[in-house]
Amino acid sequence: MAEDGAGNKAMDGETVDGETVNGGAPNGNGADDWSAIESLPRQKLEELFASDPDRLDRLCVDVAGMHFDWSKTHLTPDAVAAFEALAGRRDLAGRRDAMFASAHINVTEDRPVEHTAERYEGAPGAVAAAKKYHERMRTLIDAIEAGALGDIRYVLHTGIGGSALGPNLLVDALGRDASRYEVAIVANVDGVGMQDVFDRFDPHATLLVVASKTFTTTETILNAESAVQWMQEAGVEDPYGRVVALTASPDKAIEWGVDETRVLPFGEGVGGRYSLWSSIGFPAAIKLGWAAFEELLEGAAEMDRHFRLTALHQNAPALAGFADVYYTQVRRAETRATFAYDERLRLLPPYLQQLEMESNGKSVTVSGEPLTRPSTAITWGGVGTEAQHAVFQLLHQGTHLVPVEFVAVIEAGDDLNPEHHRQLLLNAFAQGAALMKGKHVDDPARSYPGDRPTSTVLLDVLDPRTLGALIAFYEHRVFVAGTLLQINSFDQFGVELGKEMAKAAAKGGGEFDPSTTDLIRRAGLD
């Protein structure tokens, strides 16, 4: 990255002191690699439709019970071809094969990336290990159902980040009708969340699930300790006998007090934000039933096969990754928004935030050189139609370019008057149409510039299989974007410094700046 006289950093393609920054950088992240993409003509969306009668066909993909539509983005056949060429230079196919073969593509942590093995698509050894771990989980669930741990009606799951967001999405999306168990997933260290569950659950009928890949995460361990204490205080005879641990560090879980028979391990190669397929998915498996959990895995595996075997110009994760990278790198969009037009998917945007930002929010390349281009877009979003009445003003008329994704389901999730679902879907489609079309009137305050890009994911139904495929689609999309940008999407060192400083402060140590020291003192924490 170049600096101007004031020390401000500039990205490739920007101008500093009269000169265009050319990142002909040794990491290959330079302007040359991008010139074919950056020099593509910039036609408006409506012109693109007018000039190509096959546009819809070219930019739609149907796979795994889902219809994907990128026709209202600025992708063109030439842009897709240019991205295919870039993918070739980045060896996307080779990296994809390496991931499915358990090669150590997570180079900074010297680990394989094995979440696809959890749905039985991967290297034979990793798949066999995943099957063994799943069998263990299934056996424990069967035993719990048979009453081995007493009368269990509540499941209290503590975990954070990838150890909470995925299971929470699954249970919230698919567990609405199931009457089996009441599940609560508590992530935050703020005791208010835990207390709320303690007020609702019967400690004598609660299974405590402690989910932590490392089994060292402060929030999770503190929450688990409070839950054990709550059971103890209520007179539960052996609270630790009601604890299940989900972890890649079984020894630590055992050391903490969980009996080995109730530790459900998973492999180190399964990253936290990619772990819902492993034993981290336990709350979903117990709530929805084993058959549903297997369907989830099968749906994801179908997307894995599509990603592995389909040409990039018809490959859903690849096209999505191309569009994402086009907007961040060429149009310099800083954010991207996903709106779930389905209440059952309301936790999809927060899930995607971790998946995308923790994976591709980096400043260095795989080989440790400074990234000379923007990394991933800031991911945000919400639920339609509510968001239309809150944030869509900016999307239609604000100065920011925000590519929007709509996710909707054809089959309604409710039994009310069908007009509810009809209105819901029509609103999603109309928003996409309006963002593209715009409106030009004499009054500037009432004009809409239009030409704003949107993509749509339309699910036939929301069931475990389709949701599995949808989540796997997002995982691979992140991988495509990370590969094009030469980012290691599988480490997350950026979260460590804040954790270290919080730990130091909790121990009464740490060197802090005057402002932080003052805040600690004011809160009475010194």
Binding residues for ligand F6P, rule: CB under 6 A, are 160-163, 212-214, 217, 220, 272-273, 358, 492, 495
- Residue 3 corresponds to which tokens in the numbers above? 């600096």
Which residue of the set 104, 131, 400, 499 is catalytic?
499
Q: Tell me the three state secondary structure of residue 239.
A: helix
Return d(Cα 216, Cα 205) in angstroms, integer: 27
Nearest to 468 by CA among 114, 170, 47, 28: 170
* H helix runs in 263-386, sequence order: 282-288, 290-309, 316-329, 348-353, 359-360
Provide the 3-class DSSP secondary structure of residue 12: coil
Min CB(61)–ligand F6P separation in Å: 30
- Minimum distance from residue 370 beta carbon to ligand F6P (Å): 23
Task: Tell me whether residue 295 or residue 491 sits nearer to ligand F6P (CB atom).
Answer: 491
Least gap, CB of 463 to ligand F6P (angstroms): 26
**Of 389, 496, 507, 511, catalytic:** 389
Please say which residue, 182 or 358, places its beta carbon nearer to ligand F6P.
Answer: 358
Pairing status of strand 243-247 against strand 263-265: parallel
Annotated active-site residue in 118, 358, 405, 475: 358
Backbone angles phi, psi at 413, to 5 degrees: -95, 5
Q: Judged by CB, which is closer to ligand F6P: 272, or 432?
A: 272
Provide the minimum distance between the beta carbon of 353 and ligand F6P in the complex, in angstroms, as a whole number: 12
Q: How far is the CB of 511 from ligand F6P (least distance, A)?
A: 22
Q: Which residues are paired to 68 by β-bridges?
A: 61, 457
Q: Are 449 and 397 in contact (CB under 8 A)?
A: yes
Crossing angle for the helix pair 464-484 and 77-89, to the nearest 10 degrees:
70
Distance CA(374)–CA(372), nearest Å, equals 7
Active site residue 421: no
Question: What is the SS3 assignment for 102?
Answer: coil
For ligand F6P, the closer of residues 455 and 492 by Cβ is 492
128 contacts 510 by C-beta, under 8 angstroms: no
Please name the helix (run of DSSP H) or strand (run of DSSP E) that holds residue 424, with its range, or none: helix 419-437
Q: Is the peptide bond between 399 and the residue preceding it cis, with omega within 30 degrees of 0?
A: no
Mapped onto helix, strand or coil, the DSSP state of residue 268 is coil
Query: What minimum distance in Å lies between the beta carbon of 479 and ligand F6P?
Result: 16
Residues contacting residue 312 through CB under 8 Å, at least 6 positions apart: 80, 83, 84, 87, 92, 318, 319, 322
| Residue whose structure tokens are 């100065």 | 399
Q: Distance between CA 117 and CA 269 in Å, rounded?
A: 10
Q: Coil, strand or helix: which one is 221? A: helix
Which residue lies nearer to ligand F6P by CB, 186 or 316?
Answer: 186
Active-site residue flag, 499: yes
* 389 classed as catalytic: yes
Looking at the Cβ atoms of 23 and 161, the one nearer to ligand F6P is: 161
CB of 167 to ligand F6P, least distance (A): 11
Nearer to ligand F6P, 110 or 415 (CB): 110
Task: Give the total residue count for the chain.
Answer: 526
CB of 272 to ligand F6P, least distance (A): 3
- Of 182 and 219, the one with the shorter C-beta distance to ligand F6P is 219
Question: Which residues participate in catalysis according to the annotation?
Answer: 358, 389, 499
